[in-house]
Amino acid sequence: SQQGEEDPQALSIQEGENATMNCSYKTSINNLQWYRQNSGRGLVHLILIRSNEREKHSGRLRVTLDTSKKSSSLLITASRAADTASYFCATSPNFGNEKLTFGTGTRLTIIP
């Protein structure tokens, strides 16, 4: 069963604006990851944050994790048309990074 839920389900913004997506989960985790999926393609790993971390940056991506609220957010700054995709959070219960449980995803559309 799916553990995570993401909101919003869909998000449309103008190019150049920032996009924020949220993810909530239900059980204890070792780490939380964000993936990107272009339409009809596989998933691309974006960033991983461990349960003992609160914030992590990678380029235009910023991820936060609040284990007390069992939630995470992904911020994409200065969005580009090429950022249009679906974004999924995924949690893993162990350090070995197996048995990922995916959230419901956010479909992000960047309007040029």
Partner 1 sequence: GAVVSQHPSRVICKSGTSVKIECRSLDFQATTMFWYRQFPKQSLMLMATSNEGSKATYEQGVEKDKFLINHASLTLSTLTVTSAHPEDSSFYICSATPPGVGQPQHFGDGTRLSIL
**SS3 call for 109:** strand
Q: How far is the CB of 53 from partner 1 (least distance, A)?
A: 12
Beta bridge partner(s), residue 109? 12
Q: How far is the CB of 88 from partner 1 (least distance, A)?
A: 6
Residues that bind partner 1 (CB under 8 A): 2, 31, 33, 35, 40-45, 48, 88, 95-105, 107
- In terms of CB distance, is 13 or 48 closer to partner 1? 48
CA distances for 56 relative to 4, 12, 75, 111, angstroms: 20, 24, 11, 27
